[in-house]
């Protein structure tokens, strides 16, 4: 295997499936199958999910609110999504541990990096919810932070497209895909795959990021096995 321990980042929007809002149980189940497939290969899995399918602090609705309150609402949305994924993973036989940067004692443990690493080493997937627990930080930044805390080999960011392009491939037919790109090139070209804070943290710690299409069911397994899928940022 090319990667022994990974941090998988899934957007909240990806959980909607064909819906325009909320959680599609079939899509959550599909992701759980994909996660189980790499778990069965012996990969240690950390997982961060966004909350944009329920509430996004920087959305039009969020802009009408005080920023701190809006961001806390977004963090709680990630907890709802994480609980849905945890439930689906457990139905597939994976005893996933749910940790949260925002204290919600009855549904998730507080994030403790040492315990998370112990759980991963023992073969238990760990889901990180609640972002960093602080406003003004995105779930992308939270994902990089958690990846560094658990000593992940890489961040795998599942999206709706098969990598990073020079412009939106869903809008421009002549968009050009990058197989590999540096952190600096991504920032200079304003390719908004992750926010600048997340990229800066990843760059400083030399943490590779792979952006790929998670809607193709075998992509995750191919990446773990070392195939060149999506775009590598390093």
Handedness of CA 27, 218, 126, 59 (dihedral sign): negative
Of 155, 150, 166, the residue nearest 118 (C-alpha) = 150
CA 163 to chain CA centroid, nearest Å: 15
Q: Are 181 and 164 in contact (CB under 8 A)?
A: yes
146 CB burial (10 A radius; 0-12, 13-18, 19+): buried
Q: How far apart are CA 71 and CA 62, in angstroms?
A: 8
Catalogue all structural domains in the chain, each as residue range(s) with its CATH number: 5-233 (3.40.1160.10)
- CA–CA separation, 95 and 84 (whole Å): 13
Residue 57: predicted pLDDT: 57
Give the predicted TM-score (pTM) of the model: 0.94
Q: What is the pLDDT of residue 60?
A: 53
Please check whether residue 48 is in contact with residue 99, taking contact to mean a CB–CB distance below 8 angstroms: no
Measured distance CA(43)–CA(35) in Å, rounded: 9
Query: Going residue by residue through the chain (234 aa), what tens digit of pLDDT does each one get?
Result: 789 999 999 999 899 888 888 999 999 999 999 999 999 999 999 999 999 888 865 555 556 788 898 899 999 999 999 999 999 999 999 999 999 999 999 999 999 999 999 999 999 999 999 999 999 999 999 999 999 999 999 999 998 888 999 888 888 888 899 999 998 888 887 787 788 899 889 999 999 999 999 988 899 999 999 999 999 998
pLDDT of residue 25: 94
């Amino acid at each position: 295997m090319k990667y022994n321990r990974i941090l998988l980042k899934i957007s909240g929007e990806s959980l909607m499936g064909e819906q325009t809002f909320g959680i599609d149980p079939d899509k959550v189940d599909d992701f759980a199958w994909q996660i189980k497939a790499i778990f069965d290969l012996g990969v240690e899995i950390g997982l961060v999910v966004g909350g944009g399918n329920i509430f996004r602090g920087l959305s039009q609705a969020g802009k009408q609110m005080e920023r701190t309150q809006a961001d806390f609402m977004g963090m709680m949305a990630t907890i709802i999504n994480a609980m849905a994924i945890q439930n689906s993973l457990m139905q597939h036989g994976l005893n996933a541990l749910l940790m949260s940067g925002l204290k919600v004692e009855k549904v998730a443990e507080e994030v403790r990096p040492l315990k998370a690493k112990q759980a991963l080493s023992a073969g238990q997937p760990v889901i990180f919810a609640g972002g960093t627990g602080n406003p003004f930080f995105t779930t992308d930044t939270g994902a990089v932070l958690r990846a560094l805390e658990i000593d992940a080999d890489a961040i795998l960011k599942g999206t709706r497209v098969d990598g990073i392009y020079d412009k939106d491939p869903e809008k421009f037919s002549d968009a050009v895909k990058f197989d590999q790109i540096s952190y600096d090139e991504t920032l200079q070209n304003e390719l908004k795959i992750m926010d600048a804070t997340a990229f800066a943290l990843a760059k400083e710690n030399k943490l590779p990021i792979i952006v790929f299409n998670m809607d193709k069911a075998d992509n995750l397994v191919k990446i773990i096995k070392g195939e060149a899928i999506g775009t590598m940022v390093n």
